[in-house]
Structure 1
Amino acid sequence: MRHLIITGLTAIAMASPVAADDTTLKMATIAPSLGAAISMATFANVVNDNLDGVEIEVSGGGAATLHMMEVARGNLDMSMTSPVVYNLMSAGKAMYAKQADAPELAKNLQLMMWYPYGAYHFAVRADSDIELLDDIEGASVFLGPQGGGAYNAAKGWIEATTGMVPGEDYDAIKANWQTGFQAFMDGKIDVYVNGCLDPCGQFIQFTETEEVRFLAPESHEGEAVDKYLGKWRYRAEVPAGLYAGQKNDSAVMSFDTAVGIGVRADLDEETVYLMTKTFWDNIEQVTSDAPWAKALDIEFAASKRGLIELHPGAARYYKEVGVLD
């Protein structure tokens, strides 16, 4: 990927498809250094490189849970979404319980594509006496920014597999993505959690000077775990040998989920169709030099997950190529 934040239209080949009118769209992502944000910025780069008449401007930072509301209000055009978080928004529950307009706003948020968030990595220094997720009692842990989807997902996995909850059994520190990672780099916290498609930039950086070990729970089976995973999360392994300083002898079990590019339902069908087509028609531009991008799959992208509906423009493309009936 050449750029992370796109602020202008890049050079475009003469054979590029053309949107009807020049269109500038606003996309918001979570912290730019995170894998899910890189995936979204990559989508924007491919569209900007190959589609005449459309410019996607990407800004990084903030919570996807809030970005989704702003897309639905028409203040943004695209943001990250997920099956679990969209379902909560449409029901006005959890982080949306105090947002009276969330269920109505959810009707103006649709989907362009899903992609894997990446397995959640529960990381400690290799010399830590924490060897299993069950050993974090009394530890300081960065789960993600409090109130965000990643925080709630990591917290839920720990509770489902170990029975431990923050504030009682371990200390979940308050920090944003940048300061949480820096605290781990500086040795100020015991456990750092990040979901990402390997290889992750944070762990590449960390293992340049330190050794890391990823934690699995003693058991990832049972009714509580199955209930937590539900329909939209799934078990996923973090393999051994991913990073030079990784000290796991074998793969460790964690979990993953789908996240997606949400789009305004009232964005015109042709523009969304052309953006979707342009990305998938030029996917080799990504996978040729980004190992993590091999996890992108068009059937996964178009699959039904949760209550959110595909935007008609995206659905039109997926039907055209035969991955949607």
Structure 2
Amino acid sequence: MRFLSAVTLAAFLSTTPAHAQSTTLKMATIAPSLGQAITMATFANVVTDNLDDISIEVSGGGAATLHQLEVGRGNLEMSMTSPVIYNLMAGGKAMYKNEAEAPELAKNVRLLMWFPYGAYHFAVRADSDIQVLDDIEGASVFLGPQGGGAYNAARGWIESSTGLVAGEDYDAIKANWATGYQAFLDGKIDVYVNGCLDPCGQFIQFTETENLRFIGPEDAEGEAVDKWLGKWRYRAETPAGLYAGQTNDGPVVSFDTAVGIAVRTDLDEDTVYRITKAFWDNLESVTSDAPWAQALDVKFAASKRGLMELHPGAERFYREAGVLD
């Protein structure tokens, strides 16, 4: 199977497999251009290609926080999740504080697999005067859609590592993923942020015509950073030489976290076992054409992160795979 670029992913998301299937499972993910959506669509494609009686229909767009509620309600079989948003849903906190049913719905949401979100890349044009994150005072920055998880994570990394506050020390622009990226392409903003498993389509496209540089804080250590990273985030490095127009002469420190595929608790155990097994047994079919897929790891997928428990069907596969005690 070929690597799913943003263009081919969009086509994949808008179609249903042509061959008849006895069971169709519905999956929702975030904007199709983003690496995490590509990972989830790849999962769906691999499963559909390798099981004759099950297909996964993917729709892209919207917020993972809302999709997770729909899994709990039984309107979707699968969605994106994370340790943070599941814990918030289970506790009825933050974006779920006005959703009285959220804690009860969380009981119908289990984990199929975790995968790395991808290192957060803080990018500037190669000729920018901004050399490190500490230099962005007064700059215009796209952190992600305001109110979303990516926005809050990027904002937190900057504040904990540099002391600079969004909206006070720099301008965090209001935009969705598509318009934020277009603003960077058009030279209307100084810094563009995107977390992804390299190679990331946005940076491949940008460096076809221009050079860029990834930036990190002057100091990525310290108590404030450690406290902000907490249990669910971890430092990560973006190496030099990943992209043709990347001018970094060494690795750049940022952070990464885990996201995952949530699945309905009441979905048949054997079905979840089979789709989990179909993906991991056939992952090698995509790694040669999708280098980012090499970052997927079965032990990471089954690791315990937060309150979320594995679906019994997924747990059965991971025990057979030898990655659970």
| TM-score above 0.5, yes or no | yes
Equivalent residues of 1:84, 1:232 under 8 A apart: yes
Aligned to 1:92: 92
CA distance in 1, matches of 2:262, 2:67: 10
Asked whether 1:306 is paired with 2:314, we answer: no
Distance in 2 between residues matched to 1:101 and 1:251, nearest whole Å: 45
Q: Unpaired runs of 5+ in structure 1?
A: 13-20
One-letter code aligned to 1:43: F
The corresponding residue for 2:56 is 56
What residue number does 1:143 align with?
Answer: 143
1:180-199 deviation line (CA, Å, top 9, x unaligned): 10011011111110000111
1:52 alignment partner, SS class: coil
> Which string of whole-angstrom CA distances, capped at 9 and with x for unpartnered residues, describes residues 137-175 of structure 1?
111111111111111111111111111221111111111
**Is the contact made by 1:112 and 1:276 (CA closer than 8 Å) also made in structure 2?**
yes
C-alpha deviation, 1:232, in angstroms? 1.1
* Alignment partner of 1:9 out of 4, 17, 23: 17
Query: Which residue number in structure 2 is paired with residue 39 of structure 1?
Result: 39
Q: Which residue of 2 aligns with 1:16?
A: none
**CA distance in structure 1 between the partners assigned to 2:183 and 2:100 by the alignment:** 36
SS of structure 2 residue aligned to 1:123? strand
TM superposition shift of 1:261:
0.5
Give 2:128's aligned residue: 128
Quote the residue 1:189 is aligned against. 189
Among the aligned pairs, what percent are the same residue?
78
Per the alignment, residue 106 of structure 1 pairs with: 106
What displacement does 1:93 show?
2.0
1:64, 1:148 within 8 Å by CA — same for their partners in 2? Answer: no
Cα 1:67/1:244, change in 2 over 3 Å? same
Query: Are 1:291 and 2:287 counterparts?
Result: no
Distance in 2 (CA, whole Å) between partners of 1:100 and 1:131 is: 46
CA contact (8 A) 1:10 1:49 kept: no
1:164–1:94 distance in 2 versus 1, CA, 3 Å: farther
Query: Retained in 2: the 8 A contact 1:77–1:264?
Result: yes
With structure 2 as the length reference, what TM-score do the two structures score?
0.94
> What is the match of residue 15 of structure 1?
none
Matched residues in 2 for 1:117 and 1:98: separation? 27
Tell me what 2:242 maps to. 242
- State the 4+ residue runs in structure 1 displaced beyond 6 angstroms: none
1:11 deviates by 6.2
Matched ranges for 1:145-294 at <5 A: 145-294=145-294
Query: Helix, strand or coil: the match of 1:248?
Result: coil
Give the Å deviation of 1:220: 0.8
CA distance in 2, matches of 1:268, 1:165: 47
Q: CA RMSD in A?
A: 1.4
Amino acid in structure 1 at the alignment position of 2:234: Y
Q: Which amino acid aligns with 1:279?
A: F
Partner of 2:89, secondary structure, is: helix
SS of corresponding position for 1:25: strand
Question: Which whole-Å deviations, capped at 9, do the CAs of 1:91-142 have from their partners, x for residues lacking one?
Answer: 2222222222222221111100011110000011111111111111111111
Amino acid at match of 2:320: E
Residue 10 of structure 1: how far off its partner (Å): 5.7
